[in-house]
Structure 1
Amino acid sequence: MKSIKLEWKRGDWAAYFGLMTNNLTNLLTMMGLLIFVVGIPTEIVYGRIAPAFGMAVLVASVCYAWFGLQLAKETGRKDVTALPSGPSAPSIFTVTFLVLMPVYQQTGDAEFAIQIGLVWCFVEAMILVGGSFLGETIRKMIPRTVLLSCLSGLGLLLLAMNPMLQAFEAPTVSFIVLLLIFINWFGKKPIFARIPTGLLLLIAGTALAWVSGLQSPEAIKASMSSFGFNPPSIHVDSFLQGLPHALPYLASAVPLGLANYIFDLENIESAHAAGDEYNTRKVMLTNGLASTLGCLMGNPFPVTVYVGHAGWKAMGASIGYTLASGVTMFIVPLFGLGAFMLAIIPMTAIVPILVFIGVVTANQVVRETPKIEVPVIFICLFPWIANWALTMVNSVMAAAGTSAAKIGFETLAHKGVFYQGLVHLGNGAPLASMLWGCVAIFAIINKPLRGAIAAAVGALLALFGVIHAPIVGFAQGSSLMFVTAYLMMGAMFVVKHVLDRREAASEVATSV
């Protein structure tokens, strides 16, 4: 069999800058939250967490590149695109605000807070490791339309929406970058075709940002203060010390671990739909083991298959981009280069690339979905829209020093803000999106027993507060109302099944 070598293609440049920058943004967001919001000492963040974070992403990236090479070797294809690797962005916020911040505020002990976070990350990793043995089966049980529709919501609302808003804050830079994307990546006849489009976008965006005065030499000078050498090291002792005290904080780990599990399933299915058939078990094991390695080196944030495989493939990316991104994610925290890089290359030049990835991710489901199943796409979007809106509303109220409870739910409702509906629909969006996609598709294609099973699963998830509730807990708040509703839905599916059976039997009797 002909050997396959790792080659760097033109499309790898664009994919590299897009993936690396998005990962770098998550890294800087994580460091900013830990230092300026939680108050974790900089020596812990820069010297321990960030390097371990980069190491975990690098390990996953190396494995993904290897999987890509193996797939290319087995199939003889030269158009294989490796899976993208990166941090679980929701986990950055969840572990920060639900684990590290409350523990640190209660104890004033940063080391103890990190220990609890490491156990939390380990539980996340074990969910992926354990689930890897069921991943292929579950991926085949859940219709492709549902998996891709859920991913489209993730791509549009969590990946592309905020970058699009950022783009409209600096239109003199981002509009030209967006137009170049439309012409070169969506259009039939590229402009400046000899220049790799990703490089063209960065050159144009960076030049416009500096000309517009959005970047300054002072920012470059200030960023140099973060330079240093921070090699990762083993911190198994911190993990072991946190084990006996972590149980009260693990309630959020299970639903988010399940959500990350679903993310992986959706992204693997997206790669399959694009023609790159990766082994589900190997990919999930890689994520689980890479997250475990990061945990044992002092990083409380898990890694995952990053969204956007279809987008990177549409750019013409091969295998090198994900490996290069992983190497960069290791080198940047190793030498403290993140702030320096973003001081030179503005975010306004980069965020339109993320808009492209979100659009391509959503467009994939449109191409792959049979006409009768198209409504499922939009049903799956609702939980993601609610999740995004809930995050925005909560952030605005927090900035104003108030909350929905203080303002009053009825007052908000009179202004057209149905806050309780946002809470119920938006919480647990990854699982709720998939659940409602299954309910809708089994109703559409007339599989009532499978629909009844989906409704029963919904009742179980609602009972424990995994979906439709702000916190996990057994039969708390309004969860029983949702349990009842899902059971009623399941009963209706059963009635439909019985009526179908009677109708079929009647038709047989008539024909005889």
Structure 2
Amino acid sequence: MEISTVKTPRWFVRRDIDGLFGLFLDNLIQILLIVNLCQGVLGFSPSLVYGRILPGIALSLIVGNFYYGWLAYKQGQREQRDDITALPYGINTVSLFAYVFLVMLPVRLTAIAQGVSSEQAAELAWQAGLVACLGSGLIELVGAWVGNPLRRLVPRAAMLSTLGGIAITFIAIGFLFRTFANPVVGLVPLGVILITYFGQVRFAIPGGLLAVLLGIGLAWGTGLVSWDNAKFATALQPIGVYIPRLWLGDLWNSRAVLLDYFSIILPMGLFNLVGSLQNLESAEAAGDVYPATPSLAANGIGTLVAAICGSCFPTTIYIGHPGWKALGARVGYSILNGIFMGLLCLTGTVAILAYFVPVEAGMAIVLWIGIVIVAQSFTATPSHHAPAVVVGLLPGIAGWGALIAKNALRAAGLGTPDKPLTPALIEQFKLSDTYIDGAFALEQGFIFSAMILAGITVYIIERDFRKAGYWSIAAALLSWFGLMHSYRWTVADTVVNLGFGTGTPWAVGYILLAILFFYTEWLARRQKGNQKVVPSSSQDAFDGNLEK
């Protein structure tokens, strides 16, 4: 009698709790950033943040998380598997900062300079953010139909190493700093996570939950977090019920923003599209194959829902699928995240949760996910492509370094209207042999340059120099249009400089590199042809000598 080995996915498994904590914490950090930046930097009122933006975010997260959970379930049924993990999904961090500082803040400052009241300036800035978010969603939706061709063209090492560069810097190192800034609170939860998932030790409760509970206890017990009546009262104020609305009229009234800030919206939309493609490749390397077109289209639809319903912040397929898969999360963690994040945003309880659960309590999970992503860059690619992976890590590290350098300058009092950042700083950095202008150049469009440089290195390793030349030409085109490397100075930052010919020096460099590759291809073919002739001639000469 044959025993059936057919497996079917389940909507919820025990380890989905661990996955929920990781994804929920990641989303929660983005929500807290949005609340703080919108109120502190943009001057948005609580009614604007809690009554419009957060309900829009709630719907976008519910739509995406439910869809990706359903997609994983259906994919598991088709493949007769019970170990498939849903794609993680949430707010795009890069776009969050870009739209706050490069779209909404300039609109607000310009309005105030023209004599508009602070309240009306906040309204105009919010409308501009809606349009920018809508533009990003349209780019992601249209780009869904070019996803499969791009995945076939781009080597896996190029895809995964780009994510590795982001994971090792913007995810892992940041939380590592925070862990060692508060070692009494941070090290024990980190130890629990490493023991659970690297040491394969099972505790009485899921390791992620245990780490969070220990983190909460240590944070409150050591005084890192303490009771404050005023802060508690402030956290209670926004609690209520907020019903999402459609804001089509506000989108239409601010439609000119699409042209005015096209140089920001286009690269952000392309950045989100390529990043989502890389995350699909990462999921496939971890064993879960998802169709590119519907996965990317759902991502774009989630962003469009956000814009139409009041949120200024695009959503994306998150980095970290292999980490959540290694946690043991399957389908339910995605759906649960949509439910809990939706409830938080629709009831205004974000602030009260953040008051009781400090970031330090759950950051070990996110740090571990960053480690897993970097490790996957090496383990899921051919071993002889390891140099390409290393090359692909470098632009992300450079971009992070540029960010840290600018943060240091701002902490030192620069980056204000009275003391703006200027090109003169470059010479000051060079006095310590730091070519910071190179870091600024790598920072812009680093997701593109990381993928391209890693791809070029793969084709060099494979001795396919013609394809390396084609990639160099693609890099030249992206650079010439300003999608890579080209930057301009603002009062407090260096930002992308989109336009015809803005990246000419880098474009010329890549063209010269392409010429080198095409010459090398010709030379390799010639040498290969000569090698075929030489053995025959040598054999004839050898035979002649024998006859003599």
Superposition pairs of residues 17-416 of structure 1, within 5 angstroms: 17-108=21-112, 109-190=121-202, 193-218=203-228, 219-403=231-415, 404-405=421-422, 408-416=425-433
Q: How big is the shift at 1:344?
A: 1.1
Q: Indicate conservation of the 8 Å contact 1:85/1:326, yes or no.
A: no
Question: Normalised by the size of structure 2, how large is the TM-score?
Answer: 0.90
Counterpart CA distance in 1 for 2:196 and 2:335 is 25
> Residue type matched to 2:207 in 1?
T
CA displacement at 1:510 relative to structure 2: 4.7
Partners of 2:93 and 2:426 lie apart in 1 by 30
Q: Which runs of 5+ in 1 are unaligned?
A: none
Give, as a single letter, the amino acid of the residue that structure 2 aligns with 1:482.
W
Specify whether residues 177 and 407 from structure 1 end up closer, same or farther in structure 2 by C-alpha distance, changes over 3 A only.
farther
Shift of 1:228: 1.7
Kept in 2: contact 1:238–1:298 (CA 8 A)? no
- The aligned residue for residue 486 of structure 2 is 469
The secondary structure found in structure 2 opposite 1:507 is helix
**What is the alpha-carbon distance in structure 2 between the residues aligned to residue 249 and residue 392 of structure 1?**
26
- Displacement of 1:5 in angstroms is 6.0
Alignment partner of 1:78: what SS?
coil
- Structure of higher CA gyration radius: 2
Please give the alpha-carbon distance, in whole angstroms, between the structure 2 residues aligned to 1:440 and 1:384: 16
Q: CA deviation at 1:222?
A: 3.3
Q: Secondary structure at the match of 1:56?
A: helix
Task: Name the SS of the counterpart of 1:38 in structure 2.
Answer: coil
1:500 corresponds in structure 2 to 524
Stretch of structure 1 that moved more, 118-127 or 200-209: 118-127
Amino acid at match of 2:255: L
Structure 2 gap segments, 5+ residues each: 113-120, 416-420, 488-495, 537-548
SS at match of 1:86: strand
Q: Residues 245 and 353 (structure 1 numbering): CA distance in 2 closer, same or farther, change over 3 Å?
A: closer
Provide the secondary structure at the position in 2 that maps to 1:246: helix
Q: Give the deviation of 1:227 after TM superposition.
A: 1.1
Distance 2:26 2:383 in 1: 34
Which amino acid is 1:249 matched to? Y
Question: Within 2, Cα distance between the matches of 1:20 and 1:364?
Answer: 23
Stretch of structure 1 that moved more, 3-12 or 279-288: 3-12
Aligned to 2:490: none
State the AA in 2 paired with 1:154: I
Separation in 2, partners of 1:244, 1:369: 45
Q: What is the alpha-carbon root mean square deviation over aligned residues?
A: 1.7
Q: Quick one: percent identity of the two aligned structures? A: 29
User: Is residue 125–residue 288 contact of structure 1 (8 Å, CA) maintained in 2?
Assistant: yes
- Offset at 1:115? 2.1
Deviations 1:289-309 (A, max 9, x none): 111111111212111101111
CA offsets, 1:253-289, max 9 Å, x none? 1112111111101110111111111011111000111
Deviation digits for residues 453-487 of structure 1, max 9, x if unmatched? 1100111111111111222333556x221111100
Distance of 1:431 and 1:511 partners within structure 2: 45
Q: Distance in 2 between matches of 1:114 and 1:102?
A: 11
- Post-superposition CA distance 1:129-155 (Å, at most 9, x none): 111111011111101111111111121
TM-score by length of 1: 0.96
Aligned length: 509
